[in-house]
Amino acid sequence: MRADARGGEIVNPSLRLWWLTAGALAGAVGAILWAGRPHEAQACTDRFEDYILCTGAVATNTKVPTDGVWMLDYRAGKLLGTVIDRTQGKIVGWAEVDLVTEFNLPPRKDVHFMMTTGMVAQGQAALYVAETTTGKFGVYSMGLRPDGQAGVMIKRHDLVLFRQGPKANN
C-alpha cells in the first residue's frame, strides 16, 4: 500500500473487489442455510373427557397466516374444523366430518381417538387422526370451500389401517 498526497492510504482496487465478493458470498451462503432449515410445526393439542382440541395453520391466503382449530367430539362422533377471521376476530363457522361413518364404527362402540397436527407445506398443516380400537389412521386438511361460500371445508386425504383390528370371537 502506498500513501496519497494527503497522507492517506490508497487501497488496492483488486483487494476491495476481493472483500466485496467474499462478503456477498458469505451473505448468500447464510441466506441459503437460513431458508433451507426445517420449519417446525407450531401446533397445540389438548383433551378433556370426550373432546380433543388441536390447532394448526390453514392456507386460506398465502400472504396472511391463518390459524385453524380442530375439535374431535367423541359424544357426537364428529370432527369439527374452523378458522379465525383475523380482521373481525371471529370464528368463520364449523365444517364437520362424521367419524362414525368415516371410520365405519359400530354404534355405541368404545372407541379411542388420538389426533395431532403436522406441517405439510408452508402455512398448511395436516391433521392426523388415529382410532386405536379399529387400528384406522386418517389424514385430513382444512381449506377454503370450493363453492366460494364463506367458511372452510375438511378434506380427507387418506384413511388406512396401521394395524389389524381386534378379531371377533367365534
Res. 156: pLDDT tops 90: yes
Cα–Cα dist 7/14, whole Å: 21
Res. 147 pLDDT band, cuts 50 70 90: confident
Share of the chain above pLDDT 70, in %: 83
- DSSP assignment of the chain, as one string? -EE-TTSPEEPPHHHHHHHHHHHHHHHHHHHHHHHTSPPPP---EEEETTEEEEEEEEEEETTEEEEEEEEEETTTTEEEEEEEETTTTEE---EEEEHHHHTTPPTT----EEEEEEEEETTEEEEEEEETTTTEEEEEEEEE-TTS-SSEEEEEEEEEESS--PPPP-
Domain locations in the chain as residue ranges: 2-35, 45-161
The pLDDT value given to residue 59: 84
pLDDT in tens, 66-87: 888 999 998 888 999 999 877 7
Which range is least confidently modeled, 14-23, 59-68, 114-123? 59-68
The pLDDT value given to residue 74: 83
pLDDT in tens, 7-60: 566 667 788 888 888 888 888 887 777 666 555 545 577 777 888 999 888 888
C-alpha separations of 169 from 103, 105, 134 in Å: 21, 18, 15
Place of cell 364437520: 96
